[in-house]
Amino acid sequence: MARMYRNPPAASLLVITAVGGLVTAYERTSGRRVWTFEATRRGANHGVTLCHVEDQRVICVSAKMVDSMWAADGLAEINCLDYLTGRHLWQQEVTTGANVGYYTATVLIEAGQVLIAHNTVLFAFVLENGAFMWQQPIDGAHAAGITMPVSVAVPGRATQADRR
């Protein structure tokens, strides 16, 4: 019987943290800070920041609560960074025009496409350059007037939204 060997993937060099619009990369072996990136703050308070690493790209989605006199509009700022250097590669900003009581987004990256479920809409972008591809309303995401967390899946991969 022939034995089959499989090489495990190499350990990643960096660990990424994200909080309140601030993204930091640390060297895994020493804990040394390698780079930091701060999402723009144009008149907004940053809340949850989600990160996903794929193909040497770090996709960060930051909640931007822009307060008006009457309500808060949940914007999502999407930034793409180079994994090793933190260099900013592209940025997009999306909104659904709906007021939100809490922020939740779901990020899934596959086959060169960035899929983001934000509020009640699913958005698609090109991973390489951030070009907008399409958007579609998500069936059932606004049940009984409440924005619900959305799971996003493709064969072999799934992500869950965090409700906080």
Tell me the pLDDT band of 120, cut-offs 50, 70 and 90. confident
CB-based burial, 76-99: b 16+ in 10 Å, e otherwise: bbbbbbebeebeebbebebebeee
Report if residue 56 sits inside a domain.
yes
pLDDT of residue 15: 96
Query: Quick check: is 2 in a domain?
Result: no
Q: Count how many domains the chain has.
A: 1
Decide if 117 is inside a domain: yes
CATH of the domain at 137: 2.40.128.630
| Structural domain range at position 140 | 14-159
Residue 86 backbone zone (phi > 0: left; psi -120 to 50: alpha; other: beta): left
What predicted TM-score, i.e. pTM, was given to this entire model?
Answer: 0.82
- At 42, the pLDDT band (50, 70, 90 cuts) reads low
Tokens, residue 100 = 């939100």
Q: Does residue 4 belong to any structural domain of this protein?
A: no
